[in-house]
Structure 1
């Protein structure tokens, strides 16, 4: 990787490196029923690419379209296996409340979230100094983690008496973290107009669809979509078919996933079990310029416009660490990491994809994972061959799976059985799967 001195944030390069958004042809304020599929696709192709930069004019237009925020101090925006997530109205904070079935999971989430945030921040700073590809695209972000709040913290609970509690209204453990901003209203409306099979007006009015974080599924392609299944924008699935339809940067997404997984494995030493990669809005806090970017500027350069140029419509985020666990730096650890790769939802590209056209995406992922792992000095993981062993184990598991849509996702499938197609909207937390083949 060579040094790239042409910074994407240099003011003189903004007009060529960034696609500033022209809103003259976008039906931002129209009712969803008036948007044709072609118009919705046009809107998504303009707003969703990660290279799209929002000017102050378009940011104001988008913000004006957002529904009136809830007046409740805390608003539920999601629920998982170990906790329910509440946005603190008017702030960039969320609080994940521990559920009874998630006892001990929330503390595990806090530990691994902190580790991955720290190491990903360090890796991003190092990578900014040397990256020669995707220089105009934002790097993957992990939401900041702030604090762990217990029921025995009288100050917090007295100060926040309206926070929802579990019957019989007893406080529970909370994890406080940065809010991942949902995709904007104009994008949500276009997704409904383009992909909702029925009752688009009701879908747009459904308050749960305001909390739209789109899962990035580079491991599955669905040529056809169900006309009868329920539609929701919570955890909307951007599979390869949709990514291609909208012209999104899937090679970049594969590279960022590979970098993040390498950081998890060899710096955090975790299997990254059940983590999620989502497309959402950019961080609400401005992203400051890096040292290499500042080095391209003349003394006393006004940098506010350069920072504004980093505000995008969409951003890739890594989240959800409650099922992560430690791995050892040996064959057993590699085996555990490989199992987590396959047990997760189909975020990562597959070595044996359902369609031949997707094989190149696996090579992008594999090469980036190996190249990035090679730069780590911790524990001599490269000299011991652990990253290559991980890739080999993943490939070996792919070869033992039967052909057909769905065979490349989820837990192992019995050879000879009909192709297994599961509902990928259901997370696999808490389930047990057969072991993968041992490493020889």
Structure 2
């Protein structure tokens, strides 16, 4: 009898570098990543979404440039860094800051820069590369699944990778009666978050989270001049065991001046 230890729910990842895997998505776009890789790739669901994907990349690039200043260091919510955008119409790559720098030191046989971070991801629809947001720590994700998933969820449904935080509404009754469920867009409300924090006190308080949301919205609006409509806040992991808070989904954001003009015309 073998005495070799086997991890729980063992899977064979011997092919982990061979092809990208889906880690999230919706009707607008799908998010992929190389297994074990540091980047995520948001790929348009259809060719007609090229403009929207490009707009989101440009918006995120501008916001991230502001977020690296000293005044943003204290912000609770973080932005994933954008690296490059692929335009299938012209077959060109727009890079954020020149090149992705390899972690491998300069030596014979190793290049120190990757010219195309989207190589192998898509040829026919628009996409952009950004920092990968890591999944929630196992214990936290499992607790969310056990406590808050609706009865309609399949037993083998995975925990949410990025748990969205909807602090302006009560979701408990809606989830209990809803026939639709997706781990890609799973969210919890303030009461559920408070219940989760009672088990995991390392989480920020609901008050600090709400304050962090307002702080980020104010920074986006007043410091960068953008309208942050429909952005979403969520919590995820750091790739090890820490909780991180992120703001994501900028496809409907626009400059504040453009937003005021559009509102005036409606």
2:218 to 262, 278, 291: 262
1:144 to 63, 81, 92: 81
Distance 1:76 1:67, change over 3 A: farther
Which residue of the partner structure matches residue 317 of structure 1? 246
> Is the 1:86–1:96 Cα contact (8 Å) retained in structure 2?
yes
Report whether the alignment pairs 1:238 with 2:188: yes
Distance (Å, rounded) in 2 between the aligned partners of 1:334 and 1:66: 54
Partner-residue secondary structure (3-state), 1:318: strand
1:115 to 44, 62, 67: 62
Distance 1:333 1:314, change over 3 A: same
Distance (Å, rounded) in 2 between the aligned partners of 1:223 and 1:172: 37
Distance (Å, rounded) in 1 between the aligned partners of 2:214 and 2:134: 23
How much has 1:242 moved relative to structure 2? 0.4
> Is the 2:118–2:129 Cα contact (8 Å) retained in structure 1?
no
Q: Return the TM-score normalized by structure 1.
A: 0.45
Structure 2 runs not aligned, ≥5 long: 1-6, 94-114, 198-202
Distance (Å, rounded) in 2 between the aligned partners of 1:223 and 1:74: 35
1:86 to 25, 32, 54: 32
Distance (Å, rounded) in 1 between the aligned partners of 2:49 and 2:62: 20
Q: Counterparts in 2 of 1:345-360, with a 5 A limit?
A: none
Deviation track 1:70-98 (CA, whole Å, cap 9, x = no partner) reads 73520112223442211122211011112
1:76 to 14, 19, 22: 22
Partner-residue secondary structure (3-state), 2:40: strand
Distance 1:228 1:263, change over 3 A: closer
How much has 1:231 moved relative to structure 2? 4.0
Structure 1 runs not aligned, ≥5 long: 1-63, 132-137, 285-310, 340-433, 436-440
Distance (Å, rounded) in 2 between the aligned partners of 1:228 and 1:320: 24
Task: Please say which structure displays the higher CA radius of gyration.
Answer: 1
Distance (Å, rounded) in 2 between the aligned partners of 1:320 and 1:92: 19
How much has 1:251 moved relative to structure 2? 0.8
Partner-residue secondary structure (3-state), 2:219: helix
Distance 1:250 1:223, change over 3 A: same
> Is the 2:152–2:179 Cα contact (8 Å) retained in structure 1?
no
Report whether the alignment pairs 1:215 with 2:171: no
Partner-residue secondary structure (3-state), 1:221: coil
How much has 1:195 moved relative to structure 2? 2.4
Relative to its length, the structure with more helix (as a share) is 1
Aligned residue pair count: 226
How much has 1:256 moved relative to structure 2? 1.1
How much has 1:143 moved relative to structure 2? 0.4
Which residue of the partner structure matches residue 174 of structure 1? 127
Deviation track 1:109-134 (CA, whole Å, cap 9, x = no partner) reads 01100111122232xx3255xx6xxx
Aligned alpha-carbon RMSD (Å): 3.4
Distance 1:234 1:66, change over 3 A: farther
2:139 to 176, 186, 192: 186
Distance (Å, rounded) in 1 between the aligned partners of 2:72 and 2:119: 41
Distance (Å, rounded) in 1 between the aligned partners of 2:24 and 2:242: 21
Q: Counterparts in 2 of 1:45-60, with a 5 A limit?
A: none
How much has 1:157 moved relative to structure 2? 9.8
